[in-house]
């Protein structure tokens, strides 16, 4: 019997001589890329020429990787004396290159910090220039991203804001993957300005390692919640860290089996219509929303590297901007 079994396996082994035992195809995963705080997260400390240089580098990398992306704009960042045209040109680069733009409110205003009416006015004010640019490219404004992912302190406010957004033709752009690139980016940009390439490399290595941990964590949380991994939505920010290193980041994701899809395709996943009753003082990703809605707050999130927090705290930060009331 045993001999016959071995003989019966021979044709199979001849056909697949290199097939290792327990071989697994890479997981088939999909993710959409979103990039917030345009025209640049650090727009206050960059001039228009630098913003355009950074934007060109970021978009060239995304095009080369054939990775679609939606950029989310804070139009307040356009208004710097004698630079408005230059800053608008940076937004136009996105549309000229075939990417999409959405609204991130005019002044990066949290729904948790102002009245619903004030927040709605900031949403409308944030549409002014972007809508015109989109129309010139035969596109419409489709997405809104909540600043700080703060979606309202109570369910009534949250639902009222959702109804308001739907009435203006918006779909909310959720986030499921977030490795706090903005915090690495602050330290990176400071090192870049000072020509400290050793620190730049250290920041990039730490960012990519932490990204891997974040993906491990949220992929598992996804499987625990849904029994599969929904198409994910990644939150990044318009920064030199991403302009210089998004190819490295996408390599990490490709090795995990990800392909890059549009936000529209990602949101077609059934997961995005799951019940979501999350409210809170703090913004949170949508996997947390769904987990908390089910009464299962997630545990053991990876720990953000403390040294990056300390370095970031020590940097001179932009003066707080006047609240939009
Ligand atoms: Zn933002």
- Average pLDDT, consecutive stretches of 10 residues, N- to C-terminus, the chain (325 residues): 45 46 66 98 96 98 98 97 96 98 98 98 98 98 98 97 98 98 97 97 98 98 97 98 98 98 98 96 95 95 97 79 45
Supply the pLDDT for residue 317. 74
Residue 35 CA to ligand 1 centre (angstroms): 9
Residue 200 CA to ligand 1 centre (angstroms): 23
Q: Of 89, 34, 93, which is closest to residue 59 (Cα–Cα)?
A: 93
Structure-token match 């499921």, residue found: 176
Q: Is residue 237 a contact partner of residue 149, using CB atoms and an 8 Å limit?
A: no
Beta bridge partners of 29: 258
Residue 235 CA to ligand 1 centre (angstroms): 9
Residue 167 CA to ligand 1 centre (angstroms): 23
Distance, in Å, from the CA atom of 254 to the CA atom of 264, rounded to the nearest integer, reads 20
Beta bridge partners of 71: 35, 101
Supply the pLDDT for residue 316. 81
Residue 112 CA to ligand 1 centre (angstroms): 14
Distance, in Å, from the CA atom of 277 to the CA atom of 169, rounded to the nearest integer, reads 22
- CA distances 291 to 145, 158, 298, Å, are 20, 18, 7
Distance, in Å, from the CA atom of 235 to the CA atom of 72, rounded to the nearest integer, reads 10
Distance, in Å, from the CA atom of 168 to the CA atom of 174, rounded to the nearest integer, reads 17
Supply the pLDDT for residue 22. 44
Q: Ligand 1 being an ion, which residues bring their Cβ within 5 A of it?
A: 36-37
Residue 22 CA to ligand 1 centre (angstroms): 43
Write the pLDDT tens digit of every residue in 30-44.
Answer: 999 999 999 999 999
Number of Cβ atoms within 10 Å of the Cβ of 197? 10
Residue 36 CA to ligand 1 centre (angstroms): 5
Q: Is residue 60 a contact partner of residue 96, using CB atoms and an 8 Å limit?
A: no
Q: Of 274, 272, 215, which is closest to residue 249 (Cα–Cα)?
A: 215
Supply the pLDDT for residue 319. 58
The tokens describing 231, both together, are 């198409």
Write the pLDDT tens digit of every residue in 3-39.
Answer: 444 444 444 444 444 444 444 556 799 999 999 999 9
Q: How many CA atoms lie within 13 A of 295 on its CB side?
A: 0
Residue 151 CA to ligand 1 centre (angstroms): 13
């Amino acid at each position: 019997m045993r001999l016959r079994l071995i003989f019966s396996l021979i044709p199979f082994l001849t056909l697949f001589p290199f097939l290792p035992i327990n071989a697994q195809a890479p997981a088939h995963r999909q993710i959409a890329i979103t990039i917030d705080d345009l025209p640049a997260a650090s727009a206050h400390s960059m001039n228009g020429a630098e913003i355009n240089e950074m934007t060109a580098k970021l978009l060239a990398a995304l095009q080369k990787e054939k990775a679609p992306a939606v950029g989310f704009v804070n139009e307040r960042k356009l208004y710097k004396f004698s630079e408005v045209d230059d800053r608008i040109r940076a937004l136009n680069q996105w549309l000229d290159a075939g990417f999409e733009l959405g609204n991130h409110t005019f002044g990066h205003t949290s729904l948790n910090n102002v009245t619903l009416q004030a927040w709605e006015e900031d949403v409308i004010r944030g549409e002014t220039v972007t809508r015109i640019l989109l129309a010139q490219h035969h596109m419409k404004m489709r997405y809104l991203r909540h600043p700080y992912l703060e979606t309202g302190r109570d369910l009534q406010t949250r639902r009222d804001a959702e109804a308001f957004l739907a009435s203006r033709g918006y779909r909310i752009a959720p986030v499921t993957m977030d490795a706090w690139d903005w915090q690495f980016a602050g330290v990176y940009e400071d090192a870049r300005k000072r020509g400290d390439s050793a620190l730049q490399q250290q920041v990039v290595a730490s960012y990519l390692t932490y990204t891997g941990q974040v993906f491990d964590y949220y992929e598992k949380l996804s499987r625990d919640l849904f029994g599969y991994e929904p198409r994910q939505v990644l939150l990044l920010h318009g920064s030199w860290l991403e302009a210089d290193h998004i190819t490295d980041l996408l390599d990490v994701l490709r090795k995990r089996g990800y392909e890059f899809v549009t936000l529209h395709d990602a949101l077609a996943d059934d997961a995005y219509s799951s019940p979501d009753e999350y409210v809170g003082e703090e913004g949170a990703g949508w996997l947390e929303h769904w987990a908390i809605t089910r009464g299962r707050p997630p545990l053991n999130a990876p720990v953000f590297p403390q040294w990056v927090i300390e370095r970031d705290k020590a940097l001179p930060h932009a003066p707080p901007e006047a609240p939009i009331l």
